[in-house]
Amino acid sequence: MIRPADEAGLREAVRLLKAGSVVGMPTETVYGLAADAFQAGACARVFAVKARPSFDPLIVHVAEAGWLERVAVRVPDAARVLARAFWPGPLTLVLARRPELPGIVTAGLDTVAVRVPSHPVALALLRMADTPLAAPSANRFGGLSPTRAEHVQLGLGKAVELVLDGGPCRIGVESTIVDLSGPEPALLRPGGLDSEAIESVLGRTLRQGPAVLERPLAPGQLAGHYAPATPLRLLAAPAAVDSGAAGLGLLAFQGAPGHHHYGEVEILSATGDLAEAAARLFDCLHRLDGLRLDGIEAETVPSRGLGRAINDRLIRAAERTRVEHP
């Protein structure tokens, strides 16, 4: 059930979390499926509800950097520096994990991914619950990420008793993940925080994390993720006049040419604003996916700033389609 995130809604959410249930939680990036990170049973429900493979660890959300020691040990200076610059916000840090944290949260890894979200509802929930919340994106594994409460309900249905409605997500793509557990900081997933901003605060370049691993460090690294049910194909160039067909949808960046033949068109940002495009990405894909089209064709966006996160999601969505619909 979707509920307003007022005092009563928050109280009910805390009651459910304490009882070992999972709750849909808005964040500034995407909606999360939250569980008390210190209840292994509740975290197991997150995996079950999402149909998520158990090798795929969860992100732990905390209310402030002061909570880091609840889940991590040997927090390096670089983490403090990045936390001061970018938290609350769309940055996830991978750190050495506290042994007390249930192993299911980190899928048996000795590291934990942690962030402070900036959405006021997420922060209020964390403070009221007074416990770190493990929360992956609130969608079935491999599917489109939810950027509205309705997306969570549509995707996960009755398995989630309560979704707190925090409105549409402001950023719209997941957090940027930086691994600080090794000798050099590494970018594991491009996301809502521009990696150049991170590099300028760190005063060094980020190593690119391994792209696609057999046992991925970040499943956002799997080829074939973030995919709609409708086959999605990437266009090599912006949609041409005369392209398309009635059964096809177009996900355009700035706008579609005048005489195309697409049945439906969604425009990410008429003005070419990458932040607006990121905020609309999953919402537009959810809408096109709901129309039972034969296919979706998608333009890529300029590969700078948030554009890198957008293209990353589109490439993986198209890859999934290629794998499942040869």
Name the residues that contact Mg ion, by CB under 5 A.
137
Write down the least CB distance from residue 52 to Mg ion, Å: 9
Q: Which stretch binds ligand TXA (CB under 6 A): 15-23, 110-118, 253-261, 264-272?
A: 110-118
Contact 160, 138 (CB under 8 A): yes
Nearer to Mg ion, 9 or 146 (CB): 146
Among the listed residues 23, 93, 112, 186, the single contact to ligand TXA using CB under 6 A: 112
Write down the least CB distance from residue 214 to Mg ion, Å: 19
Q: Which stretch binds ligand TXA (CB under 6 A): 50-58, 146-154, 158-166, 199-207?
A: 50-58
Element (H, E) at 316: helix 306-324
Q: How far apart are CA 251 and CA 247, in angstroms?
A: 14
Per-residue x/- track, 146-185, ligand TXA (CB under 6 A): ----------------------------xx-x--------
Q: Is 195 in the site for ligand TXA (CB under 6 A)?
A: no
Q: How far apart are CA 31 and CA 306, in angstroms?
A: 19
Q: Is 312 in the site for ligand TXA (CB under 6 A)?
A: no
Biggest distance spanned by C-alpha atoms of the chain: 61
Q: How far apart are CA 166 and CA 325, in angstroms?
A: 35
Lookup result for tokens 């990696």: 195
Q: Which stretch binds ligand TXA (CB under 6 A): 81-89, 126-134, 156-164, 212-220?
A: 212-220
Other C-beta atoms within 10 Å of 15: how many? 13
Q: How far apart are CA 78 and CA 185, in angstroms?
A: 9
The strand order across the sheet containing 23-25 reads 2-4, 162-165, 23-25, 32-36, 133-134, 59-61, 111-115, 91-96, 176-179, 186-189, 207-208
Write down the least CB distance from residue 317 to Mg ion, Å: 12
Q: Is 227 in the site for ligand TXA (CB under 6 A)?
A: no
Among the listed residues 9, 32, 172, 228, the single contact to ligand TXA using CB under 6 A: 32
Q: How far apart are CA 302 and CA 267, in angstroms?
A: 15
Q: Is 217 in the site for ligand TXA (CB under 6 A)?
A: yes
- Fill in the DSSP letter of residue 31: -
Write down the least CB distance from residue 43 to ligand TXA, Å: 12
- Where along the sequence are the contacts to ligand TXA (CB under 6 A)? 27, 29-30, 32, 56-59, 90, 92, 94, 106, 109, 111-113, 117, 135-137, 174-175, 177, 188-189, 217-220
